[in-house]
Amino acid sequence: MGRSQDRIDSYYFALDNKLIPCQTAGSLGGLDELFKVHYIFNMSYDNALINFYTFLQTTVSSIDVGKTKESPRVKERFLEILKLFCSALDVKGCVPMPLH
């Protein structure tokens, strides 16, 4: 919620038709809380976002690595981003480690 779409200052998620305010500020904090709510309440991810949430779960949070089916395309894109990041930093020896 906010005064306008370009000035959102509070975030909520809906659970059992109730709005629950996020405890952290900002969109990143809201996304983090939304991901954790899925995990804590053992909720299924929305089909449209399943690859994104699975990426957060396995690659970012290291939860159920090897037990969860991951999208090979998402893994490939992530490695591409890491390679770009390494080359942008121009750090010697900066090589992305293979994922799982």
pTM: 0.58
Share of residues in the chain with pLDDT > 90 (%): 3
Residue 9 contacts residue 2 (beta carbons within 8 Å)? yes
Q: Is the pLDDT of residue 59 over 80?
A: no
Stronger pLDDT, 50 or 78, i.e. the higher one: 50
Cα separation of 14 and 50, whole Å?
A: 18
How far apart CA 82 and CA 46 sit, in angstroms, is 26
Which of 9, 40, 10 lies closest to 22 in space, CA to CA? 10
Cα 27 to Cα 13, 23, 24, 48, 99, distances in angstroms? 12, 11, 9, 19, 27
Q: Say which DSSP state 49 is in.
A: G
